Amino acid sequence: MLAYRLLTEDDTSAFCHKVTEALDKGWSLHGSPTYAFDAKRGVMRCGQAVVKEVEGRYDPEQKLGQL
């Protein structure tokens, strides 16, 4: 099964750490990162899709961050 996650965070080093942690756990980048302004909070937000090939079948109860 190919698992998919969209990692998001404010535009700080926390975003880079989140993506780096996912890569360290075997996830791969999928597509280009995104960058948008959150007008309600007045901050820039980043996003990056990641994918990972895992054993088994899709289970909507499974926590993707634990794969």
In the chain, where the domains are located = 2-56
Average pLDDT over residues 20-42: 97
pTM, full prediction: 0.88
Task: Give the chain as a 3 state SS string.
Answer: CEEEEEEEEECCHHHHHHHHHHHHCCCEECCCCEEEEECCCCEEEEEEEEEEECCCCCCCCCCHHHC
| pLDDT(10) > 90 | yes
Q: For position 5, what pLDDT does the model report?
A: 97
Q: For position 14, what pLDDT does the model report?
A: 97
| pLDDT(2) > 90 | yes
